[in-house]
Amino acid sequence: MDDFTSAFHSQVAVVTGATRGIGEAIAHRLAAMKMTVVLLARDRDRLEVVREAIASKGGSADVFPCDLHNEEAIDGLGKHIRLNYARCDVLVNCAGIGELGKPLHEMEVEDWDALMATNLRAPFLMIRALAPMMIQQESGHIINISSLAGKNPLPNGAAYSASKWGLNGLTYSVAEELRKFNIRVSVVAPGSVNTGFGGRGDSGSFKDEAWKVQPDDVAGVVEMLVRQAPQCFISEVLVRPTRKL
């Protein structure tokens, strides 16, 4: 264990959307840094698979099945973290859904509501539940996984784009609110990631899409952010594939 990794040995990280894709890759990265990682998603069975995979590599993980649309469930998470760990050092808001492929005027209201509840309301609820512990300990790092769609127009994906523009604005503003407590808040905005996003599979491991940004590439950025020297923070990282098709 190197000196940098040993510094994280007693720290606790919470990762939403931890059962697949980018969230799963981030969970593995933080566990490899010797953090205890609390894994959040709705599917308990899949959470257990990820926990066991982390444990098989010598890491430590806890599972917390949670519906991110449920305010009471997220409040319960905050109580669980406080009771069992008494600290939260890293929060990664990674869970996200998309409604792509048709213009906004054809979108159902319930689909809009579900998308905004997952992509924007849930990060708010997670920050509300866990930031007080970070304030109390006067340290912490919140990392929101956004998208390049939050920087650029996305025809036939306007709601998704709007949710990510909103998440970016939330991130920048909360960063200013929490800086005085020595808490860093960053946004990572990848584009063209090789995952199952958009309904193309469970794990999203597509050999013909190897040109894309890989989930572990994004996890590497999260590790870099967490390892920053304490006197500074990177507020935003844009991650693009080298090739442009």
172 in active site: no
Strands (E) located in the chain: 12-16, 36-41, 60-65, 90-93, 140-145, 183-190, 236-239
Set 8, 64, 160, 165: catalytic member: 160
Q: What does the alpha-carbon distance between residue 241 and residue 193 come to, in Å, rounded to a whole number? A: 8
Contact between 194 and 205 (Cβ < 8 Å): yes
| Three-state secondary-structure class, residue 88 | coil
Nearest Cα neighbor of 17 from 110, 71, 93, 82 is 93
Cα–Cα distances in angstroms (integers) from residue 19 to residues 51, 182, 239, in the given order: 9, 30, 22
Give me the active site residues, please. 160
